[in-house]
Amino acid sequence: MGMNVGSSSGDGDPEVMMDVNTTPLIDVMLVLLVMLIITIPIQLHTVNLDMPPPSTTPPQQDPVVHTVMIDFDGTVYWDEAALANSKDAVDAKMQEIGAMPISDQPEIHIKPNKLVDYGVVAAVMASAQRNSVKKMGMVGNEQFVK
């Protein structure tokens, strides 16, 4: 009185398939993968700087300018004088400038060599940001134009 499932009795009935249909499983997994990729936040490797608003009034006097040159090997020069311990020396200089009121702060012109590792340039810019240096700019960008 029992029922035989999957046996080939030769009476012309097709065999029962015992395989799992994986197509819906793959579809669900692809949808979950796309949702995961969309929801992962984008990682930005940037240094955010608080830039002052533009002004149309010319300054009363010419500003004091300090030039920070970064050589191809990562050596940092402050007003053409090489800094022995680059990171600590740059940080000390930036602390000194950041302690001044914003109106009295000298301008910092960062001039990197085109062959220098970006990490050294980013470290100088991050030091300026950490120490509240507001007047900073990149100079010498014409060397990057081909």
Q: What is the DSSP string of 5-56?
A: -S---SSSPPPPP-----HHHHHHHHHHHHHHHHHSPPP-------PPPP--
Where are the chain's structural domains? 65-144
Whether 74 and 115 have beta carbons less than 8 Å apart is answered as no
At 78 the pLDDT is 92
Task: Choose among 93, 114, 100: nearest CA to 63.
Answer: 100
The structure tokens listed for 112 are 């990197």
Which element (helix H / strand E) includes 82? strand 81-82
Most confident of 9-18, 42-51, 129-138: 129-138
Q: Write the single-letter amino acid at 125.
A: M
Higher pLDDT, 6 or 129: 129
For residue range 42-89, list pLDDT tens digits in order. Answer: 776 776 777 778 888 887 888 889 999 999 998 999 998 888 877 889
Enter the pTM of the model: 0.59
Cα 94-73-114 angle, rounded to 5 deg: 85
* Mean pLDDT on 13-28: 85
At the top level of CATH, the class of 65-144 is alpha beta
